[in-house]
Structure 1
């Protein structure tokens, strides 16, 4: 059995491998919206409070938005997975989305792809 000697790197090589922190660009903060909205679900139109955010997916080149919503007047939220819904925030066009799951507090997760319901 032959022992190999560990290869040593000079400090210059080590410096060349590390990226200068000054070269990194600051990521833009994620656009988000928190406040009132209108949920248009099959058979129901509800006033809700939402907390939304999103990101541009480099894989498919589309904007993916998501968040949680809760009923503002204590109304029962629709069941998740019952088809497409539309979410409208004040001053913006309705955006199609899908209700995914209910959390332990009764809030719903909503997701969508494309133009978000909040301004970018």
Structure 2
């Protein structure tokens, strides 16, 4: 189950090649036990006019000092962009404490 600790909704810097834009993003991620990797996905709300972002474009998303590589998966009917990535997300994760039984 995901909660608000798994969600980032705020500003990020999106870079694709020479193109850079600051935009609101809404990103969420989860650990997939089937492949053992962290998967994240979400929406980029920027609407660049020059076609710099499109399906299949590789992007770097940075939130403060944290960044990650992702890929634009599609442009939504509202002109926003869906993005997905695997590995550490471009936003800081809340620290958790684990109790391991012996």
Shorter-chain TM-score range: 0.7 to 0.9
* Larger of the two Rg values belongs to structure: 1
Question: Structure 2 CA distance, aligned partners of 1:94 and 1:119?
Answer: 9
Tell me, which stretches of 5 or more residues in structure 1 are unaligned? 1-26
Question: Structure 2 CA distance, aligned partners of 1:96 and 1:69?
Answer: 14
In structure 1, which of residues 82, 89, 96 is the aligned counterpart of residue 63 of structure 2?
89
TM-score of the two chains, using structure 2 as the length reference = 0.80
TM-align CA RMSD: 1.6
Greater helix fraction, Structure 1 or Structure 2: 1
Tell me, which stretches of 5 or more residues in structure 2 are unaligned? 94-102
TM-score of the two chains, using structure 1 as the length reference = 0.68
Question: Structure 1 CA distance, aligned partners of 2:2 and 2:74?
Answer: 29
Q: Structure 2 matches for 1:3-14, cutoff 5 A?
A: none
Question: Structure 2 CA distance, aligned partners of 1:37 and 1:55?
Answer: 19
SS at the partner of 1:95? strand
Question: Is 1:46–2:21 an aligned residue pair?
Answer: yes
Question: Is 1:117–2:90 an aligned residue pair?
Answer: yes
Number of equivalences: 90
Aligned partners of 2:67 and 2:91 also within 8 Å = no
